[in-house]
Amino acid sequence: MFIRLKGFAMKRCIWTFGMVLGMLSARAAAQSDCPGVHEDKPTQAQVRTMVDARIASHAGRTALYALQISTGKAVSVDGDTPVQTASVIKLAILYEAMIAVREGRARWDEKIVLKPGEPVGGSGMLHFFDTPLTLTLKDMLTMMVIVSDNTATNLMIDRFGIDAVNARVESLGLKNTHLYKKVFKPAAGPMPADQPKFGLGKTTPQEMATLMGYIGECRLQTGTDAKGPIFHPLDDKDRAICDVALTMLKSQFYRETVPRFLPNGGDQTVASKTGSLDAVRNDVAIVAGKTGPMVLSIFTYDNADHGWTVDNEGEMSIAKLAKTIVDSWSPEGLDPKLLVPGLGERTCPATALQQ
């Protein structure tokens, strides 16, 4: 809704940005000092040109949302359009696991057993290992995030439940984010009518940026009220949980997209989760800019290039878009000291919709 400004009032545009990334709010004490979410017009124009060029050349389509949390700068192209998540939906499983650990319903060191017949193919390593195999919950989540292991993902779905994951994202206000089923396994029950279109999961760039922002800001939900989700006050226990998750995301094995053209390949300055299908390449990342943390949520689809090489056009497109946005918002470079739970406290509550 935001990106085609012709025919839309700026007030409506600002409302859209605030609505979607609303719950990336931070400390209330600094609220009056923060700017509202606003379109960064020069960067928006650059991004729009790049996206239009992909369409014109029949390379594919792009939907994205990016926000610098500390300044409120934002760009969006079809940011509220539902898209295939591929493995990006695994972020929702990770977040639910973080909440379960916080509430004492799970432990990082609890034992998870991979039984014969459970491994599935595709990304990951566990399907190459002999079974039965026992690993910890933390090990399984690490495999799910770092190498996008599909077998580990299914075991985590068994552990926490599809219904619980979907109830969590819905309670966060993410109405277009949904995990449908296990990876490469038949559905356990009737599927929603739109499942064949989206496959494993669906989301919007805006909603997945919100979820990644919660993980980075270490906002662990405790409930909801009439104003929206309620989060636990950030404490040392929260930080320890979020540090585990951010360490996984910073250690992402697949770095051909958002981190690709960033300084030092985004080492220790980018925390990300990718997702790939033949005609799909996605990446959702936190980038620790010296001027403040950014969340980039970029989805490419209907891609002409179905190759699985490092120079895949969809991956290159994401990398170029990420560099354009990061160079614009943080020309001074990146700072790994900000990629910690709470994002160095350099977040801005006025980027949020205060419901």
The conformation of residue 220, written as its DSSP 8-state character, comes to -
What is the count of structural domains for the chain?
Answer: 1
CATH number at residue 195: 3.40.710.10
- Residue 241 clears pLDDT 80, i.e. is over it: yes
| Residue 232 lies inside a defined structural domain of this protein | yes
Q: Which residue has the higher pLDDT, 213 or 9?
A: 213
The CA distance from 87 to 68, in Å, is 24
Report yes or no on 344 lying in a domain: yes
Rounded Cα gap, residues 194 and 279, in angstroms: 18
Q: Is 336 exposed, middle or buried (0-12, 13-18, 19+ CB in 10 A)?
A: middle
pLDDT per position as a tens digit, 204-214: 999 999 999 99
Q: Residue 346 — pLDDT band, cuts 50, 70, 90? A: low
Residue 248 tokens read as 């996984």
Res 28: pLDDT? 38
Task: Say if residue 31's pLDDT is above 50.
Answer: no
Residue (of 225, 214, 102, 199) closest to 169 by Cα position: 214
pLDDT for 15 equals: 37
Answer yes or no: is 3 within a domain. Answer: no
* Any domain includes 2: no
Q: What is the Cα–Cα distance from 58 to 56, expressed in whole angstroms?
A: 5
Domain assignment of residue 52, yes or no = yes
Residue 250 lies in a domain: yes
pLDDT digits (tens, 9 = 90+) for 64-82: 999 999 899 999 999 999 9
Instruction: Look at residue 34 in the predicted model and tell me its pLDDT.
Output: 61
pTM value is: 0.89
Which residue has 């650990």 as its token pair? 101
| Domain contains 4 | no
Q: What angle do CA 53, 321, 213 make, to 5 degrees?
A: 135
Q: Does residue 5 form part of some domain?
A: no
pLDDT of residue 220: 97
Residue 52, domain extent: 10-351
DSSP class of residue 334? B
- Name which of 342, 154, 350, 124 is nearest 239 in CA terms: 342
Higher-pLDDT residue of 31 and 53 is 53
